[in-house]
Structures are given as structure tokens and as C-alpha cells.
Amino acid sequence: MIFAVGDKVKIREWDDMVEDYGYEDGDPDIIACKGIFLRSMKPLCGMQFTIHRIFGSQSEERDVAVSFEEEPKELYGRHGNPDEKFMITTAMIEPVEGNNGRFYLDESSIQDMIL
């Protein structure tokens, strides 16, 4: 999914990401998505944010890091240090319903509309 600055998103649920990416080397405390999602990040699941910056060029096949306008203490890792924030990537987020009137269609959805 392609995101833009200003999009309202939420951190995906733990079980949803496990289903899509599995565990890193079989370790049930680490989800193997781009940037890895640690069990210590689980309190972020379901939290909503507004994308402030996108780092790099994203595509449907390439996840990139994002930053948010809001930065709750849960983003600062176990030591609460703002200089050691968890990295959040586009693999870890999903759009919030009613996302500023934007909507997303994947290629198969477009094909279905055409046929």
C-alpha cells in the first residue's frame, strides 16, 4: 500500500502482522517485517498517527520508514529516550477508516472494475 504525508494511519495488530510476515528466525518476540516489529512494540498496536515524513521511495513491493506528527512515549522504546525511537515502516501501518477522503485500490481491484 502506498501512503502519503498527512495520511491518518494506525499500527497494525500483532496477530495480523504475524500472519503476513511470520516470526524472525522462529523467535515469537520478533515479527519479520521490514524493520522488524518487537514484542516490546506491541503496546503501539492499534494506535493512530498522522504521517509527517516518508523516508525513501516506496512501492507496493518496498516498505520504507515513516515518522509521525504525534510521538507518544510508546515510540521511545524501553528506555523512553526520544533519540532511540522505534523505527516504524509502511509494513507496520494501515490506513484509518475515513482517511481524509483518500482511498486505495490495488491492481486486482482495478482489474475487477474494468472487467
Distance CA 95, CA 80 (A): 27
Class of residue 11 by CB neighbours under 10 A (exposed 0-12, middle 13-18, buried 19+): buried
Query: Which residues touch 9 (CB under 8 Å, ≥6 apart)?
Result: 3, 48, 49, 50, 51, 66, 93, 94, 95, 96, 99
The pLDDT confidence band at residue 73, using thresholds 50, 70 and 90, is: confident
Distance CA 12, CA 25 (A): 21
Q: pLDDT tens digits for 15-46?
A: 999 999 999 999 999 999 988 899 989 999 99
Q: pLDDT tens digits for 44-56?
A: 999 999 998 888 8
Q: What is the SS3 assignment for 48?
A: strand
Residue 88 Cα to chain centre, angstroms: 6
Distance CA 49, CA 9 (A): 5
Cell of 45: 498496536
Distance CA 101, CA 91 (A): 22
